[in-house]
């Protein structure tokens, strides 16, 4: 899924993000997804929100993940924005 998502993330980052936030019943490990999305955040358009921020908000609010490292990473993204 990660390899196949590259062209979508390049063409339309928000559509590509939906690959990882859509409830498919088979979630990928968040650490793997974050590492993958970070590759595309450096190429985002000015003013566009970081993909990692949107993904972390999703897994924390919708996915219910309570891992402290995800909260910490999201705070760091907010501070950089």
**pLDDT at res. 41:** 87
Decide if pLDDT at 65 tops 80.
Answer: no
Is the pTM higher than 0.85?
A: yes
* Among 7, 80, 8, 45, CA closest to 56: 80
| Residues contacting 69, CB < 8 A, separation 6+ | none
The runs of H, that is alpha helices, within 1-81 are 2-11, 13-21, 30-41, 51-61, 68-80
- 8-62 pLDDT per residue, tens: 999 999 999 999 998 777 678 999 999 999 999 887 777 778 999 999 999 999 8
């Amino acid at each position: 899924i990660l390899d196949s998502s590259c062209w979508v993330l390049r063409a339309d980052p928000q559509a590509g993000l939906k690959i990882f936030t859509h409830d498919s019943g088979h979630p990928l490990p968040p650490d793997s997804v974050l590492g993958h999305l970070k590759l595309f955040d450096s190429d985002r358009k000015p003013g566009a929100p970081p993909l990692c921020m949107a993904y972390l908000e999703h897994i924390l609010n919708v996915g219910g993940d309570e891992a402290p490292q995800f909260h910490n990473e999201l705070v760091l993204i907010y501070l950089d924005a």
